[in-house]
Amino acid sequence: MKKQEEYSGVGSIENLRDIFLRQNAGKIFLVTGRKSFEMSGAEIIFKKLSREFEFIQYNDFTENPKYEELEKGIDLFRKSDCDIIVAIGGGSVIDTAKLINILSPQEQKPSVYITGREEVKIKGKHFTAIPTTSGAGSEATHFAVVYMNREKFSLAHEFILPDAVILDPELTFSLSTRITALSGIDAFSQAVESYWSVNSTDASKAFSSEAIKLITGNLQKAVNNPDSESRINMSAAANLAGKAINITKTTAPHAVSYTMTSHYGVPHGQAVSITLADFLVYNFNVTEKDITDKRGVSYVKNTFKDLLNLLGSKTVTEGREKIKQLIKDINLKTSLMDCGISSEEDIRFISENVNTERLGNNPRKLTKEELILILRNNL
């Protein structure tokens, strides 16, 4: 996969002008969030740049991008005839921009590619991603999520990986407590899941272990008593977790989460973290009979030993408690019941609508019955 042009550190957004000049860009398609664009301080920066460059801004979409909103963006992008594309915002903003950029030049309608009936053939325009949250790590991945009729799809292609990334932690300094918590715990879940994924490599484990260390050391502070150091560390951590899942993709906690988000309105970070501690225990107890990782039981057992070490825990029970405590410390919920998911019917519905593609990356096989048990225990 290609290497990204990467700029990081406080003030690194100043590099944007050089990127525009190098790309010979006169007209730029700018995908932004609604509130985050102003809150992050980005609006002022772009106002200054608009003296030199023309921007067409698109922000007409909600969190967890829907297909209809994507179509609107593609329409506008095609008509606008822009030279390059820039996304500045959280994971949903960057994912939306990725999909607009990659699906606009293709010959057939977007749904054909999203559902995997056709493969993407044409590369989009030069794409710069600038995260304003420390969470999804979308700036570092070659896939993007979109919901069609409440079903989650992830389009993956090497062309989707942003060409340039600006990781300016200053844009995250004014994040609300809640967004810091929700995005930070998403980064944490992604790092942990990547660590135990069947697709892990030495490189991905290096990224995810660094992310886990940074998050356990800084998330609580970034949420409850933020200073620039904790914000800077969280920004780096989220990007590292993104780089890790770019190699491995996510596993069971993400696979189970999408229905909680699309049907019950549970925010992504909350939804992925709610089963993370339980899956730590479940995956830890992998056996010859139910292992899915081709490297074998002893390899996976060693991975979990290392992971528990990273979490500062001696036993899996301690590791489980550590994760639950981290979630509590940042004022998020640790039970499904608290998220409005409480009946046997809800549990059945969630277990019947698991994302099987992401579940395939989990190191231990999971039957519907086992999942029901895990969810029931979580009420």
- Binding-residue total with Fe ion (CB under 5 A): 1
- Of residues 181 through 220, those in contact with Fe ion by CB under 5 A are 186
Q: Between 190 and 303, whose beta carbon lies closer to Fe ion?
A: 190
- Closer of 187 and 307 to Fe ion (Cβ): 187
Q: How many Å apart are CA 96 and CA 103, to the nearest integer? A: 10
Q: Which of residues 289-348 bind Fe ion (CB under 5 A)?
A: none
Q: How far is the CB of 325 from Fe ion (least distance, A)?
A: 21
How many angstroms from the chain centroid is the CA of residue 95? 9
Q: Which is nearer to Fe ion, 12 or 257 (CB)?
A: 257
Provide, rounded to whole angstroms, the least separation between the CB of residue 272 and Fe ion.
5
Toward Fe ion, which CB reaches closer, 25 or 336? 336
Nearer to Fe ion, 163 or 186 (CB): 186
Closer by beta carbon to Fe ion, 17 or else 333: 333
Considering the complex, what minimum distance in angstroms separates the CB of residue 239 from Fe ion?
Answer: 14
CB of 33 to Fe ion, least distance (A): 17
Give least dist CB 254 to Fe ion, A: 6
Quick one: how far is CA 243 from the chain centroid?
10
The interface region with Fe ion, picked from 74-82, 180-188, 321-329, 342-350 by CB under 5 A, is 180-188
Residues 249-268 that bind Fe ion (CB under 5 A): none
Cβ proximity to Fe ion: between 53 and 267 the closer is 267
For the bound state, the minimum distance from the C-beta of residue 188 to Fe ion, rounded and expressed in Å, comes to 10
Q: Could you count the other beta carbons within 10 Å of the beta carbon of residue 341?
A: 22
CB of 187 or CB of 316, closer to Fe ion: 187
CB 255, min distance to Fe ion, A = 11
Please provide residue 52's backbone torsions phi and psi, each rounded to the nearest 5 degrees. -105, -30
- Residue whose CB is less far from Fe ion, 168 or 186: 186
Nearest to 180 by CA among 39, 27, 375: 39
Segment near Fe ion (CB under 5 A); pick from 50-58, 178-186, 231-239, 324-332: 178-186
Closest residue to Fe ion, based on beta-carbon distance: 186
Q: Given the complex with Fe ion, which of 170 and 186 has the nearer CB atom?
A: 186
Paired strand residues for 291: 364
Q: How far is the CB of 225 from Fe ion (least distance, A)?
A: 25
Q: Which amino acid is at 350?
A: I
Shortest Å, Cβ 190 to Fe ion: 5
- As a whole number of angstroms, the distance between CA 83 and CA 105 comes to 13
Cα–Cα dist 361/252, whole Å: 8
Burial (CB < 10 A; 0-12, 13-18, 19+), residue 14, is exposed
Q: What is the CA radius of gyration of the chain?
A: 20
Measured from the CB of residue 129, what is the shortest distance to Fe ion in angstroms?
A: 16
Query: Considering the rule CB under 5 A, would residue 139 count as an interface residue with Fe ion?
Result: no
Kindly list the residues in this chain that would bind Fe ion in the complex (CB under 5 A).
186
